[in-house]
Amino acid sequence: MKRRLASFFITFALSPSLGFSQNPPKSPTETALEAASVDDLSVVYEAAYFDQFQPVSVNDMVSRIPGIGLALGGGGGGGGRGLGGGAGEILINGQRITGKSNEGRSQLSRISADDVDYIEIIRGTSEEIDVRGGGQVVNIVLRATESRSSIAAEISTDRMQDSKLAPGARLSYSGQNGNLNYLFHIQSDPNYVNQVIRESSFDPEGVATERRLEESTRDQTNYETSVNLGYQFEKSMVQLNALYGQTAPPTDITRGIIGLAEDNPSVNLEREANQGRRDNWELGGDYEYSFDNRSKFRFLFIVNDRDFDFTRERFQVGSDEETKDLFLFSAARDRERIARSSYTFNLLAGQAIETGVEIAQTIRDSEIRLGNDDEGGEPSAAHGGLFPVDVDNALSSVEEIRSEYFAIHNWQLTDSMSLETALVYESSEITQSGDVGNSRSFGFFKPRVDYRYNLTESLQFRATAEKTVSQLSFSDFSATTDNSDDDQDTIAGNPNIRQEQTWRYDLNLEYRLPNNIGVLNSKFYYRDVSDVIDRIDVSPSPDNLQSARGNIGNGTRYGLNLDASTQLSYLGLPNALFTVRLGINESELLDPFLGIERRFGWSRRWNGRTEFRHDVNKYNLSYGFNYSTQAREGSNYTRIDVFDIEREIPDYDLNLFFEKRAFGGVTFRFDMRNANDRNFCRERTRFDGATVDGIVEEIENSCRQPGVRYSLKIRNTF
């Protein structure tokens, strides 16, 4: 039965491409792909496979692997809830990089290709794998030598639509000295943004009432340095990772406003001088000890700190002078301290258990100060020399103490079947002080089941079911700024918001094409979500309408993802890699403002993505593109609020690149991002009173145009 099912799937998958059976001459890539080892648990690409592409970094290597997006699509990095099982992370020498800003995925552009022994895509589950709950895992294995070192350098410049040139640079030094592995990195990353915003306003009858033209320029460069150290003892291993980042971008805005009222036409000019600042650091580490009976103890920790503020000042520009009419200051400091320990041991033949505990402390201190030119009280220097305006819940400190107890059972049922089960209990206490005082306790059971069946070495079926609990954004607890709506300077906070809980069900079927030239994958998913987080009504009175993020009840999401990634040598394009993805989804929940069934506010009915890369090794060059699009019709990306409704109107996205490997190993890469010069458009309907009353006051149509971004990068390894 297994052979019949596999035969049917293979025939179905390959029937549109009869060219597979024509046996054209094999390219070097095909020959190397055939040499890549494949078994039930992993696919291994030796470093020799990538030599023909003359890669500079690990990023250059993984970009040539068919289907790599399936393994890298799980996320990873910052923003997650604690350390958890590490799903979606990149392993280096089989180990997680203990960090959020400085995690495994960020190392791909920093590690020299010369340091790599092989790259492994792990398809199975095992107690030996240092992550849990992921679909596939990418493991970068470095060469084991007594001594090695290399330097990877990159200089770059970006050109924006206002002809501004923004330079950048990256430098990494990595290597090994005996049992010590090290990686030092420093970078200056340009994030300059110039965009033009055009907005038109209409009354309910469709008569134009106002036109706005705005140009915004943010002159931002992100500076970052990091270090990763690892030492291998006879039975143990220790790793330390550190990162520091800093940026302080000014943002200048000019805005022209033309009033079109027949009885009172007007022209106003506004200017904004805004200043942002962010400093962040992170320290992480882990220690692992392997016992003689193959059991293992591990301890991980992370400490991080992120301190940032933003000052917005708006001026009315007259013929002779400027008058400040708005001052808005927001500041916050986020701190996180996490410790996780676990013990893994073999229970019976083919069975292992991991048990442990994770304890985390998360703190956010925040402040908002608002001033305007409406006379009342005394002007304040702390409010930009304007008159202070009271903001509810403007000063806040939120702290969460969370404990997580877990037990994971890994069972190799047969040579082709594995089952991983987990039970996690989480308890937490959240305390808020400042303008609002509140304290609450929570407890959640979070089970997970992960079943995998390898029908053949090429065909794998996966089924997972688990309960997850979202990480609350502590910025939702207190008032925040709203820089996207001139009619609303601040957004209310909600000290009673609760975690969103989701039961997640996935069915996955993956087939690796013959000779390892590609991957076909299908995934059906279903999400049963309780305590959905969206906008809720927190209005003090009908004359003072306000909304905040809060819990609106239950909802469901379900859909299908189809992925294909293949080499195109059978079409006469050796060393060409084509990847396509189609996602179809549906969702429903009850809107708290209108009482109607609607989709999740950020959910698309469908989305698609296509990537193409062609390496022309004869001329040492590469070129390609990636294209993405999504549904534009209906209620896609609609946000309903207490006093307005916003709908985003997406455009397709196109990025192009051309790369030339030149003299002495130097690589030149030209990128053209947002090549189609797309617009980000939004339609906002404002209401006279509450949205539910349906009395339209104004309709705003706005389009933001960031322009084409040209980038040139020059890289080399020494």
Map out the domains of the chain as residue ranges. Answer: 27-144, 500-718
Distance (Å, whole) CA 191 – CA 167 = 10
Q: Which two tokens stand for residue 647?
A: 């709908």
Q: Is residue 1 predicted with pLDDT exceeding 50?
A: no
In this structure, which amino acid lies at residue 123? R
What band does 371 get if pLDDT is binned at 50, 70 and 90?
Answer: very high
Q: Quick one: pLDDT band at residue 15, thresholds 50, 70, 90?
A: very low
Average pLDDT over residues 481-495: 84
Q: Which residues of 215-228 are buried (b: 16+ CB within 10 A; e: fewer)?
A: ebbbbbbeebbbbb
Decide: 79 and 66 in contact? Cβ < 8 Å.
Answer: no
Task: Tell me how many degrees the CA angle 506-512-516 measures, rounded to the nearest 5.
Answer: 150
- Look at residue 636 in the predicted model and tell me its pLDDT: 62
Q: Which residues contact 559 (CB under 8 A, 6 or more apart)?
A: 524, 525, 583, 584, 585, 586
Looking at the predicted structure, is the pLDDT value of residue 715 above 70?
yes
pTM for this model (two decimals): 0.87
As a whole number of angstroms, the distance between CA 533 and CA 535 comes to 7
3-state secondary structure of 145: coil
Residue 633's SS3 state is coil
Closest CA relative to residue 104, chosen from 66, 143, 52, 139? 139
Q: How far is CA 179 from the centre of its chain?
A: 34
How far is it, in rounded angstroms, from Cα 698 to Cα 686? 5
Under 8 Å between Cβ of 294 and 285: no
Reply yes or no on domain 500-718 having CATH 2.40.170.20. Answer: yes
Distance (Å, rounded) from C-alpha 56 to C-alpha 108? 11
Question: What single letter denotes the amino acid at residue 572?
Answer: G
Place of tokens 């033309």: 258
The 3-state secondary structure of 94-135, one letter per residue: CEECCCCCCCHHHHCCCCEHHHEEEEEEECCCCCCCCCCCCC
Q: Does the 27-144 domain belong in CATH 2.170.130?
A: yes
β-pair partners for 577: 567, 613
Separation between Cα atoms, residue 479 and residue 368, nearest integer Å? 7
- pLDDT-based confidence at residue 498 (cuts at 50, 70, 90): very high
- Of 85, 106, 268, residue with least CA distance to 183: 106
144 Cβ contact partners less than 8 Å away, ≥ 6 residues apart: 117, 176
Per residue in 110-120, pLDDT (tens digit) is: 888 888 899 88
pLDDT above 70: residue 246: yes
Whether the CB-CB separation of 248 and 275 falls below 8 Å is answered with yes
- Which tops the pLDDT comparison, 31 or 403? 403
612: closest CA among 78, 69, 46, 160?
69
Which tens digit of pLDDT belongs to each residue from 641-691? 999 999 988 889 999 999 998 888 899 999 999 999 999 999 999 999 999
